[in-house]
Structures are given as C-alpha cells and as structure tokens.
Amino acid sequence: MPSQREEALLRINSFVVLIGDQEFAFAEAGPLTSATDPEAPTPDKRHAHRYAPVILRRAVSTSRELYDWRRAIVSGKKDRRDVVIRQLSAPGGDVVNSWRLVNAWPLRWSGPSFNALRSDIAFEELELTFDDLIWGG
C-alpha cells in the first residue's frame, strides 16, 4: 500500500500584507477568488476570467493612508500598486505562501459604524480590484 505524505495544515490567522513596499497590519484579507464564465469565451477561444475584489479589513487608527489612496483614485489619479498577501507558518514565522494582486487599486473604502451602546473596535475596509492574481508572487 503506498504511503501518503502528510502535509501540515496551514492556518489563516498568521499573515502580512504589503501594499507596494509598505507592510500593513490587517485583521482580515480576502477572499482570493478567480472565476471563469464558460459562456463568454474570449476572441482567442480561451474562457473569460475575472477576479473578485479582495477586501482588506483593519482597526481604525489615526493613519489615513488607505483613505488617502482611495481619495487619489476618486480624484482621477492612476495610482495602482501591487499588493502581496503572505501567509506565515505561525505568528512571526516563515512565509509558506504568497499571492500578488497585480496593479491593484481601491474600488471602495468604508469607515466604521458607530454605536453608543457597544464597545467594539472601529474598523475600516478597503476593497481592491486588480488585473491579475499570481500565487507565489
């Protein structure tokens, strides 16, 4: 009977995100989705594909960097950046996987909702659209 090689299960709670060359701390990133529309072939007979937007979510701080990036796009500036999501083996551990969102730009920025009856952490979200998704990039 052939032996099966066991692979370590990779966790989703240890990751870092780089926007351009700058590292940001996020609470959530994803989902990473590539989809095909089999009913819409391209002129070269390949299937048309698309990438679903990726949402980055983090606690609000006094930093306006993500909001300012969105404002630059709204004002007409072409400010596309590669975004790299690196999955780590453990907090502070080695990179075990990475995905590069090529030419990403913020499609949407959302700030926190406020509620005087709750004491939750305030979050901001950045929804990114991009040209290509490369696993290992």
The range of the structural domain enclosing residue 68 comes to 15-31+49-135
List, for residues 26-65, the tens digit of each pLDDT value. 999 999 999 987 776 667 666 777 899 999 999 999 999 9
Cβ atoms of 109 and 129 within 8 Å: the answer is no
Contact predicate 98/86, CB 8 Å: yes
For residue 42, is it within any domain? no
The model's confidence at residue 85, banded by pLDDT at 50, 70 and 90, is very high
Range 70-81 average pLDDT: 98
Answer whether residue 1 is part of any domain. no
- Does residue 5 fall inside a structural domain? no
Write down the mean pLDDT value for the chain: 91
Location of structure tokens 């709670």: 13
Structural contact between residues 109 and 124, judged by C-beta atoms closer than 8 angstroms:
yes
